[in-house]
Structure 1
Amino acid sequence: MSEGSPVGAHVIKMMGYTETLEKLDFPLKDELATDVVLQLLPNSFNQFLLNSNMNETNKTLPQLLGMLRNAEGNMKKSGSKAILMIRKEKRKGKESGKVKG
């Protein structure tokens, strides 16, 4: 899938490929079909991929299509790239702020 092209067309095309494989007696499990679709997404969906992997969502292709269309709509509305923030956890107790040495 190229950057900027609609995600719906990509997922529907991939669903057609999985149906063709099923007709040829080589069905793909939902998890494998989902992984193939997600691997072919452009970099603009990296935040979606991160959330999907962290939450371990196991969805069928139609469910994934809905989620991706929703994410694509949100990306178009915001117009800016998402930022991932990681914060170091504070220590509890007397040791915070003291350096032994």
Structure 2
Amino acid sequence: MTDQIQLTEAAAKRVAAIANRQGKAPILRLSVDGGGCAGFSYKFELGDLEEGDATAETAGVKLVVDPISLELVQGSAVDFVEDLGGSAFKVTNPNAASGCGCGSSFSV
């Protein structure tokens, strides 16, 4: 694991299950897009490792972040949570000054 980004065991397990079901490599790409109710939004997709990506690995599953997005999420941890509201990947981002109620967007 790197100190730039982290992938929890719960998130790794969920990514592995999704990747297996779709016949893809267990690589979760986290990126940041402009927009969302707080300014920036997180985007998750199964992807490939690209040159320059920051990488964290847990239980054989990789979390990758491009260099531009890394500036906004460095030091973050990606978890998978299940509660009464449903299930989702959750980013704990120490760089976020504020976020929205749904947890999918943030501002710095």
**Short-chain TM bin:** under 0.3
TM-score (norm 1): 0.25
Compare CA radii of gyration and give the structure with the larger one.
1
**Structure number with higher strand proportion:** 2
**Structure number with higher helix proportion:** 1
